[in-house]
Amino acid sequence: MPTYQYKCPQCGFEFEEFQKMTDLPIEVCPKCKGRTHRLVSGGAGFLFKGSGFYITDYRSKSYKEAAKKESGDSGSSKPTETKKESAPASKKDD
């Protein structure tokens, strides 16, 4: 449930209310009984804390690919296989 901010234009009283999104806005100031206005807020960010949460877990695929190129990693975990050409067998005269 989000926390909504309200302000009374008559007395200047500001308060917050923890409400459901479906609840109707509070229209009466609890201090002067005037009419309140719900303020628009940007919300709050959040951080994952604890083991198992990494900031890079939620990066886009293009970001991860660019980071690999920048660090010089080719992105493959398998070593590159090279074919060894065998030297031609020489015939010995006995």
pLDDT of 74 > 60? The answer is no
Which of 38-42, 45-49, 85-89, 90-94 shows the highest mean pLDDT? 38-42
Q: Are 36 and 11 in contact (CB under 8 A)?
A: no
Pair of tokens at residue 75:
């992105």
Count of domains forming the chain? 1
Q: Is residue 77 part of a domain?
A: no
**Model pTM score:** 0.45
Three-state SS sequence of 40-71: CCCCCCCCCCCCCCCHHHHCCHHHHHHHHHHH
Q: Is residue 71 part of a domain?
A: no
Q: Residue 13 belongs to a domain with what CATH number?
A: 2.20.28
Parent domain of 32: 1-41
Q: Report which of residues 64 and 11 the model is more confident about.
A: 11
pLDDT of 43 > 90? The answer is no
Q: Is residue 92 part of a domain?
A: no
